[in-house]
Amino acid sequence: MNVFLRELRAYRRSTITWAVALSGILMLFMALYPTFTTDVAVTRRLLEQFPEVVRNALDISLSTFFSVNGFFGYLLNFAILAGAIQAMNLGTGIIAKETTGRTADFLLSKPITRSTVVTAKLAAAVVLLVVTNVVFAAGAVLLATLLSEEESSAGTLLLMASTLLLVQLFFLALGALVAVIVPRIKSVVAVTLPTVFAFYIVGMVGDVVANEDVRFLTPFKFFEPERIITDGRLDGATLAIDAAFVALAVGLSYLMYVREDVRAST
């Protein structure tokens, strides 16, 4: 039994749906870019009328908003929110479905180790997320080229787009960990949505109170587009935190999955 290929087939439709949805978000927002930049002075005065607290909460930076890279960075926040939901749904569901579907005892009766099962499932999940990100990143570069008269840096756009995958890996690992901690998850969505939005709200509150340390507490603030545009690179400290969390969560998932008792289907 090839678990890796089985999971790719099982989640191919949902992956296509997510790729289309994220591309739709991208197209919808990027299509508005010429409207915002037709008269920059007027649009800037309009945005300046919003209190700074509101602009911070909406992640609108007037210093970069009117460039194609800055505008893409603004819409990237919403794409990452959607992508985080996809990733945690995938991480939780792909591990928990054998228990909820009562097929775990059948799967583990095959000549395959538990660690191999986890490896195959997580590898399939990563491949599915990479496919989603390739579609999203390609669309970002294409739309930026078509809709902007200014020269945009494809390298900067791709660097910003890569943060979608980095945040998704965080929530994929978190979802897998939750799946092995909670014995039986009746609804993946009921677990995913509160968790993702809790992290998102933490980031929003941090912006409102202007607390920069919040970027170490939530993956939604690990890789801020404005910093990437200014520095031309990812933040090393938050990248290390992201990698450490993913490694820890995946390691614990392996350990707990291998040791847990599997309930027989009834």
| Owning domain of residue 109 | 3-259
Could you tell me which residues come within 8 angstroms of residue 228 by beta carbon, excluding any fewer than 6 positions away? Answer: 73, 156, 159, 160, 163, 234
* Within a domain: 255: yes
- What local confidence, expressed as pLDDT, does residue 264 receive? 45
Q: End-to-end distance of the chain based on CA atoms, in angstroms? A: 23
* Within a domain: 266: no
50 DSSP 8-state letter: S
Is the pLDDT assigned to residue 104 strictly greater than 60? no
* Within a domain: 12: yes
Distances in Å between the alpha carbon of 202 and those of 89, 114, 179, 205, 208? 20, 36, 23, 5, 10
pLDDT tens sequence across 2-25: 888 888 998 999 999 999 988 888
* Within a domain: 264: no
pLDDT tens sequence across 119-136: 889 999 999 999 999 999
Question: What is the pLDDT of the chain when averaged over all its residues?
Answer: 84
- Give pTM, 2 decimals: 0.88
Number of residues that make up the chain: 266
* Contact in structure between 159 and 78 (CB atoms under 8 Å): no
* Within a domain: 204: yes
Report how far residue 228's alpha carbon sits from residue 232's, in angstroms, rounded to the nearest whole number. Answer: 5
Total domain count, the chain: 1
* Within a domain: 265: no
Q: Which among 117, 127, 126, 123 has a CA at the least distance from the CA of 96?
A: 117
* Within a domain: 150: yes
- What local confidence, expressed as pLDDT, does residue 106 receive? 45
State both tokens at 93: 């569901």
Helix spans in the chain (H): 3-30, 33-37, 40-48, 52-57, 68-100, 104-108, 114-147, 154-181, 188-208, 225-231, 236-259
* Contact in structure between 114 and 108 (CB atoms under 8 Å): yes
Could you tell me which residues come within 8 angstroms of residue 212 by beta carbon, excluding any fewer than 6 positions away? Answer: 206
State the average pLDDT over residues 135-151: 81
Q: How confident is the model at residue 265 (pLDDT cuts 50, 70, 90)?
A: very low
- What local confidence, expressed as pLDDT, does residue 90 receive? 93
- What local confidence, expressed as pLDDT, does residue 151 receive? 62
More reliable by pLDDT, 153 or 264? 153
Report how far residue 191's alpha carbon sits from residue 236's, in angstroms, rounded to the nearest whole number. Answer: 30
Phi, psi of 148 (to 5 degrees): -110, 135
